[in-house]
């Protein structure tokens, strides 16, 4: 008999309708004359009612998380979750539970420390509240792509093994590449830039790698970067407009495909304003009472700006533009009116840096000047620099860290709770 | 004035309609009284007609590949490509060409050796015949995801930095991970398997890494793997059915979004039959007259089988099932009727192995037996083995190499021509 998903019982119901569901024994409850078995599949759960005494005996052997196939009759019951349940069931165990579970997955919330959750990730992700976190991550990626596809962007796949000639030697993982040293890409930055010379508008969803030596709640040594770059822009404001519509599309995708998961996690989604408020870096420093010579915003400054944007504009998003050139990479485009500042921005979300972006240089001569000023050897940037000498369009872009986005959206304390199998200085398994 | 894409001139045309296009100077042709400038953008090309003599002088400075903004009047002209052109233009150079181009991009075909193409990839990808190759790759990825999304699959992102405990130590890149040794993942195999215990059906599009020491036309050391795994299957035939529908969706996506590129490349797309013909490995050996004790198919056997499938079934695809256990990884499910064989398959496309897939073991005890039989230490498979002891559904899956798919679809001789920035034993740049 073809399988029916648990969530479809109400849809397939007719009198005496026989169904087969497959999934996991989520929870058994043994009462005096009946045993209830809740079976969980990817769509939700179904209640199975076992009254036959020998069948009740056999169900004793099907401990929680056993994979099962259950055939039986669908009946209406107002007291059953969802209004329908399966009676007169026949259970077939598809595979067994060999050891006690490290975490009780049937409880409404997971009672485990973060290290336990992560050590047993293949099992703990089965919990509905954990699965919901990833459903929101997956919906975010889908929304990101769908929006950019519709806006004329081309998906690209750039190499993760690179030679030393990328944005910075700091925090890169070194690799034995057939006897010579290579590195894992910190970002697709240089590749996505030159590809605006090919496709004009590109995006990539892929892993990036940072040899992050600090054990913080905000950093991973491998994460998923949602990268965008677009050509033929006026300045960074055009980039910010694409970022705005992309975030709105990601949230829309979550609403449309992960509604039950949002409810389960009690998530309050932000509203993306039609215009994200923008403040210049120099004004941001004044607003938080910082030294005007500060080259960057401290975390407490970002928090204060988040509060200010919420109060002043009713926005959980705030763009800070114009960061000082000294703190930005060599490819950053200066602010034309005053080259102490740059055409770059950070997007703060709920008082935390979520996205970095901006306009890049697009003329070879400007690159040569910038490299010389920073002591970078232009020879190391061969094909990149060559492209910059062949009619690159004015361009810019941004990168969103998927895990940071999900963590902030769900207000999770530790970014590790959002990656399927996180990597950090102390964690390489599972 | 808002930008108009070159392909939209006919759509926006009204009498005296002023437009601005942006793109690259693709080609200039200087005749006695007129200069034609073809401008290329992401949508196609537009012909610009320059008659004013001082304007013709200025256009001399805009060498091929200069990024430009052109404002002018759209007019109908049956002799113009597309039936419309721009007259009375004003050109603004957005960025310049600093050096002669390594390859003439205006020619209908690229006159360059493969090493030249690859060395200057940021520029050579601009050529329409090169861009078309990637458009087909991008359409393939989009079709893959769209189909699986609609079939209840969840996109996942598994780590690329792994400890030593993965399918095989052979051909892995070693990495300095905060002072200890880690490896780059050869495939998401073990992760996607355990995630069927969470989401039932998962897919991933991401880089995989093989320290491939042979310089062949079929292998890269980094490539994009399209991975699928699904639970609650009967056997590998269920996996093959998903592979069939996925390939059909990928081709459909190419037809819908890359039609002009298919024409440009003169590509003949294959028809995916409703049922992909299946032959057992032992019968395949007989068909090609090979020794029945052969443990694998040689390339000439695959070619002969491709010819046979085309003649016998009119199919460019052929599934070979039942590969001997000795040549398959430890997690391979045996063929229940005869455990010399396995529930695994290769899919041949035009006589070349394109996909490997099959059913996996799903009981912990079977894994322990398989590991012991192969001298693998179960302790190294901690969380993976733990998941296998907690009610894993019967499951299986497959992986398609994106570059190999595109190369075979377009009948390209060398897989390097399909990767944006290929990596091999001799190539780490650009």
Task: Give the list of residues 6+ apart from residue A43 with CB closer than 8 angstroms, or none.
Answer: A5, A6, A7, A8, B152
Q: What would the two tokens of residue B26 be?
A: 């693709």
Shortest Cα–Cα distance, A208 to chain B (Å): 9
As a whole number, mean pLDDT of residues A339-364 equals: 97
Q: What are phi and psi of A306, to 5 degrees?
A: -60, -45
Q: Note the pLDDT of residue A327.
A: 86
Q: Note the pLDDT of residue B81.
A: 87
Domain ranges of chain B: 6-95, 122-417
Nearest to B39, CA basis, from B21, B13, B52 = B21
Q: Count of CB atoms within 10 A of residue A235's CB?
A: 16
Q: Note the pLDDT of residue B184.
A: 96
Of A41, A383, A423, the CB nearest to B119: A383
Q: Residue A157 and residue B221: Cβ atoms within 8 Å?
A: no
Handedness of CA B254, B259, B261, B265 (dihedral sign): positive
Q: Note the pLDDT of residue B343.
A: 98
Q: Note the pLDDT of residue A59.
A: 95
d(CA A311, CA A333): 31
Q: Note the pLDDT of residue B169.
A: 59
Contact B419, B117 (CB under 8 A): no
> Does the CB of A112 have a partner CB in chain B at under 8 Å?
no
Q: What are phi and psi of A255, to 5 degrees?
A: -60, -40
Handedness of CA B236, B238, B242, B245 (dihedral sign): positive
The CATH architecture of the domain made up of B122-417 is 2-Layer Sandwich (3.30)
Q: What would the two tokens of residue B239 be?
A: 């996996």
Handedness of CA B303, B306, B310, B315 (dihedral sign): negative
d(CA B283, CA B341): 12
On the question of pLDDT at B166 being above 80, the answer is: no
Average pLDDT, rounded, for chain B:
95
> DSSP state, A356?
E
Q: Residue B195 and residue A66: Cβ atoms within 8 Å?
A: no
Average pLDDT, rounded, for chain A:
95
> Does the CB of B115 have a partner CB in chain A at under 8 Å?
no
Q: Residue B98 and residue A365: Cβ atoms within 8 Å?
A: yes
Shortest Cα–Cα distance, A44 to chain B (Å): 11
d(CA B137, CA B261): 11
d(CA B381, CA B259): 46
Task: Write out chain A residues lying below 8 Å of B389, CB-based.
Answer: 97-99
> pLDDT-derived band of residue A81, with 50, 70 and 90 as boundaries?
confident
Q: Note the pLDDT of residue A26.
A: 97
**Does domain A122-418 correspond to CATH entry 3.30.930.10?**
yes
Q: What are phi and psi of A382, to 5 degrees?
A: -30, -80
Mutation target among A63, A198, A359 for the B interface, most CBs of B within 10 A: A198
Q: Which of A290-294, B10-14, B100-104, B195-199 has the highest average model confidence (pLDDT)?
A: B195-199
Q: What angle do CA A63, A67, A68 make, to 5 degrees?
A: 95
Shortest Cα–Cα distance, A119 to chain B (Å): 7
pLDDT above 70: percentage of residues in chain B? 99
As a whole number, mean pLDDT of residues B26-33 equals: 96
> pLDDT-derived band of residue A417, with 50, 70 and 90 as boundaries?
very high
Task: Give the residues across from A399 on adjacent strands.
Answer: A227, A356
Q: Which of B162-166, B216-220, B359-363 has the highest average model confidence (pLDDT)?
A: B359-363
Handedness of CA A248, A252, A254, A255 (dihedral sign): positive
3-class secondary structure, A344:
strand
Query: Which pLDDT tens digit goes with each residue over A164-220?
Result: 755 565 789 999 999 999 999 999 999 999 999 999 999 999 999 999 888 899 999
Task: Write out chain B residues lying below 8 Å of A121, CB-based.
Answer: 383
d(CA A24, CA B194): 14
As a whole number, mean pLDDT of residues A46-64 equals: 96
d(CA A360, CA A333): 5
Nearest residue on chain B to A120, alpha-carbon basis = B383
> Does the CB of B290 have a partner CB in chain A at under 8 Å?
no
> pLDDT-derived band of residue A380, with 50, 70 and 90 as boundaries?
confident
Query: Which pLDDT tens digit goes with each residue over B75-96?
Result: 999 999 889 999 999 999 999 8
pLDDT above 70: percentage of residues in chain A? 99
> Does the CB of A28 have a partner CB in chain B at under 8 Å?
no
- Reduced 3-state DSSP string for A401-423: EHHHHHHHHCCCCCHHHHCCCCC
Mutation target among B20, B136, B149, B159 for the A interface, most CBs of A within 10 A: B159
Task: Give the residues across from B92 on adjacent strands.
Answer: B69
The predicted complex's ipTM stands at: 0.97
Query: Which pLDDT tens digit goes with each residue over A26-54?
Result: 999 999 999 999 999 999 999 999 999 99
Query: Which pLDDT tens digit goes with each residue over B253-279?
Result: 999 999 999 999 999 999 999 999 999
Q: What would the two tokens of residue B428 be?
A: 């780490």
> Does the CB of A195 have a partner CB in chain B at under 8 Å?
yes
Per DSSP, helices labelled H in A6-127 are 9-12, 53-59, 114-119, 121-124
Question: Quick one: chain A helix, strand, coil %, rounded to 5?
Answer: 35, 30, 40
Mutation target among A20, A95, A182 for the B interface, most CBs of B within 10 A: A95
Contact A135, A98 (CB under 8 A): no
Mutation target among B390, B396, B419, B426 for the A interface, most CBs of A within 10 A: B390
Nearest residue on chain A to B422, alpha-carbon basis = A159
Q: Residue A393 and residue B177: Cβ atoms within 8 Å?
A: no
As a whole number, mean pLDDT of residues B129-142 equals: 98
Nearest to B188, CA basis, from B228, B217, B150, B223 = B228
Q: Residue B119 and residue A207: Cβ atoms within 8 Å?
A: no
Query: Which pLDDT tens digit goes with each residue over A315-340?
Result: 999 999 999 998 899 999 999 999 99
As a whole number, mean pLDDT of residues B128-151 equals: 98
Q: Residue B161 and residue A389: Cβ atoms within 8 Å?
A: no
> pLDDT-derived band of residue A96, with 50, 70 and 90 as boundaries?
confident
On the question of pLDDT at A359 being above 70, the answer is: yes
Nearest residue on chain A to B117, alpha-carbon basis = A383
On the question of pLDDT at A130 being above 90, the answer is: yes
Contact B210, B421 (CB under 8 A): no
Question: What kind and span of H or E run contains B197?
Answer: helix B189-199
Q: Note the pLDDT of residue A168.
A: 60
CATH code for A6-95? 2.40.50.140
> Does the CB of A25 have a partner CB in chain B at under 8 Å?
yes
pLDDT above 90: percentage of residues in chain A? 92
> Does the CB of B25 have a partner CB in chain A at under 8 Å?
yes
DSSP calls for A276-304 = --EEEHHHHHHHTT--TT-SS--HHHHHH
As a whole number, mean pLDDT of residues B114-121 equals: 96
On the question of pLDDT at A262 being above 90, the answer is: yes
Q: What are phi and psi of B160, to 5 degrees?
A: -95, -20
d(CA B307, CA A196): 42
Q: Residue B421 and residue A222: Cβ atoms within 8 Å?
A: no
Nearest residue on chain A to B382, alpha-carbon basis = A430
> Does the CB of B135 have a partner CB in chain A at under 8 Å?
yes
């Amino acid at each position: 008999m073809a399988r029916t998903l648990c969530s479809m019982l109400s849809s397939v119901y007719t009198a005496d309708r026989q169904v087969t569901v497959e999934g996991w024994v989520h929870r058994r409850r043994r009462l005096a004359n009946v045993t209830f078995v809740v079976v969980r599949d990817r769509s939700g759960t179904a209640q199975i009612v076992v009254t036959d005494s020998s069948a009740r005996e056999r169900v004793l052997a099907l401990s929680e998380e056993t994979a099962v196939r259950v055939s039986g009759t669908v009946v209406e019951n107002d007291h059953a979750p969802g209004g329908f349940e399966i009676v007169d069931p026949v259970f077939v165990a598809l595979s067994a539970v060999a050891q006690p579970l490290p975490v009780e997955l049937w409880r409404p919330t997971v009672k485990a420390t973060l290290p336990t959750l992560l050590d047993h990730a293949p099992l703990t992700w089965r919990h509905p509240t954990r699965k919901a976190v990833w459903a929101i991550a997956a919906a975010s990626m889908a929304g990101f792509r769908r929006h950019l596809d519709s806006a004329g962007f081309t998906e690209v796949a750039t190499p993760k093994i690179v030679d030393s000639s990328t944005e910075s030697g700091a925090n890169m993982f070194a690799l034995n590449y057939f006897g010579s040293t290579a590195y894992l890409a910190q970002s697709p930055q240089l590749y996505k830039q030159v590809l605006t010379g090919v496709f004009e508008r590109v995006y990539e969803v892929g892993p990036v790698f940072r040899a992050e030596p600090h054990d913080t709640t905000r950093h991973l040594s491998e994460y998923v970067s949602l990268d965008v770059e677009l050509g033929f822009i006026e300045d960074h404001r055009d980039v910010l407009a694409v970022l705005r519509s992309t975030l709105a599309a990601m949230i829309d995708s979550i609403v449309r495909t992960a509604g039950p998961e949002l409810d389960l996690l009690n998530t309050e989604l932000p509203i993306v304003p039609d215009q994200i408020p923008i403040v210049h870096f120099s004004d941001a420093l004044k607003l938080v009472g910082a030294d005007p010579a500060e080259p960057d915003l401290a975390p407490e400054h970002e928090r204060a700006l988040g509060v200010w944007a919420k109060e002043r504009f009713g926005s959980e998003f705030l763009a800070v533009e114009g960061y000082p050139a000294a703190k930005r990479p060599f490819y950053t485009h200066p602010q034309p009116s005053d080259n102490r500042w740059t055409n770059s921005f950070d997007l703060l979300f709920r008082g935390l840096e979520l996205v970095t972006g901006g306009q890049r240089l697009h003329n070879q001569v400007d690159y040569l000047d910038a490299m010389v000023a920073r002591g970078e050897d232009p020879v190391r940037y061969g094909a990149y620099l060559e492209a910059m000498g062949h009619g690159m369009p004015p361009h810019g872009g941004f990168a969103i860290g998927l895990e940071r986005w999900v963590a902030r959206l769900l207000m999770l304390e530790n970014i590790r709770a959002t990656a399927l199998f996180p990597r950090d200085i102390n964690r390489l398994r599972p």
